[in-house]
A = this chain, B = another copy of it.
């Protein structure tokens, strides 16, 4: 799948995700909270995490459907339940990502005023509302994963909550952010920089892939291969982020460029230099492709194209 085909594939899936977010986020929240939640989530972002959920779900479903349908295996009702679960997982992981940006932009953290080309949430709605909107978005993620009567099997609901909670919390994203906080002005070696990013950005990207895989019946090989794919992609994403922070301007990025250096934060570029950082990004892309080969799934083209996109993106 080339980048044009990926765009066609993405558009179809994102339409579903955007509609669902529109329907599910903040509609009945009182006292301006809903507006802040919707501002943080709707109309913006590459939606990489939802796309990873959808692509992984499709890869698993294709693996399952390719064989002759065996009796008792993924009946139509169950398939529908899995589709519903994948859509909810796609939205939930995006809500966690969105809340982390809202909190991360606040004055006590990165103190950033621009995000996706718009004023950040606390600039628009005040810090107190931004804090609450982030908190409410995190809760909403778990609410979306546990619908009472949407046909999603309870075991899938529990597994999705488990994956997302682990990736979002102190062993994942929040833990990585704490390391980040403690690393300003500190010389990290490459192993510690990698560990920080594995938690801060990688965990949620990897869990997006695993959540997609959890919306179906993944074999052991598929699960392991997708996990390795998610880990490589997660790290590649961050290496490229560090590269873009020095090679692009704020208008292209839709957020403040050059802020890592300004804040004296360790990055792959500051540690390895631009050339070696770019070589590392290509190396991780190779690893991601190789991992897909290990899954024994018949169609991982969307996942492969998403990895290409992550490494070749300009913002």
Query: Could you say which residues of chain B place their CB within 8 Å of the CB of A6?
Result: none
Q: Is A37 an interface residue (CB 8 A)?
A: yes
Quick check: B135 and A134 within 8 Å, CB to CB?
Answer: yes
Quick check: B108 and A31 within 8 Å, CB to CB?
Answer: no
Q: Is A296 an interface residue (CB 8 A)?
A: no
Q: Is A34 an interface residue (CB 8 A)?
A: yes
Query: Could you say which residues of chain B place their CB within 8 Å of the CB of A55?
Result: none
Stoichiometry (number of copies): 2
Query: Could you say which residues of chain B place their CB within 8 Å of the CB of A136?
Result: 169-170, 174-175
Query: Could you say which residues of chain B place their CB within 8 Å of the CB of A145?
Result: 161
Stretch at the interface among A8-16, A59-67, A151-159, A266-274: A151-159
Quick check: B182 and A32 within 8 Å, CB to CB?
Answer: yes
Which of A28, A127, A153, A162: most chain B CB closer than 10 A? Answer: A162
Within 8 A of B (CB), among A241-297: none
Q: Is A208 an interface residue (CB 8 A)?
A: no
**A166-206 vs B, Cβ < 8 Å mask (1 yes, 0 no):** 10111110110111011000000000000000010000000
Q: Is A33 an interface residue (CB 8 A)?
A: yes
Q: Is A300 an interface residue (CB 8 A)?
A: no
Give the contacting residue for A135; candidates B32, B103, B129, B157; CB below 8 A.
B103
Q: Which secondary structure dominates where chain A touches chain B?
A: helix
- Closest residue on chain B to residue A109 by CB atoms: B128
Give the contacting residue for A199; candidates B26, B30, B165, B168; CB below 8 A.
B30
Cα–Cα distance between A128 and B103 once the two chains are bound (Å): 9
Cα–Cα distance between A138 and B142 once the two chains are bound (Å): 10
Q: Is A20 an interface residue (CB 8 A)?
A: no
The interface on chain A, measured as residues whose beta carbon lies within 8 A of the other chain's beta carbons, has a size of 58
Cα–Cα distance between A158 and B154 once the two chains are bound (Å): 6
- Closest residue on chain B to residue A110 by CB atoms: B128
Quick check: A108 and B135 within 8 Å, CB to CB?
Answer: no
Query: Could you say which residues of chain B place their CB within 8 Å of the CB of A172?
Result: 139
Q: Is A120 an interface residue (CB 8 A)?
A: no
Q: Is A106 an interface residue (CB 8 A)?
A: yes
Q: Is A146 an interface residue (CB 8 A)?
A: yes
Within 8 A of B (CB), among A114-141: 126-129, 131-132, 134-136, 138-141
Quick check: A33 and B135 within 8 Å, CB to CB?
Answer: no
Quick check: A131 and B109 within 8 Å, CB to CB?
Answer: yes
Give the contacting residue for A139; candidates B26, B132, B157, B169; CB below 8 A.
B169
Which 10 pairs, one residue from A and one from B, show the smallest C-beta to C-beta distance?
Answer: A139-B169, A29-B170, A108-B127, A33-B178, A136-B174, A143-B165, A146-B162, A142-B165, A157-B158, A31-B178
10 more A-B contacts (CB under 8 A) besides A37-B170, A142-B164? A28-B171, A29-B178, A33-B178, A136-B175, A139-B165, A143-B162, A143-B166, A146-B158, A146-B159, A153-B154
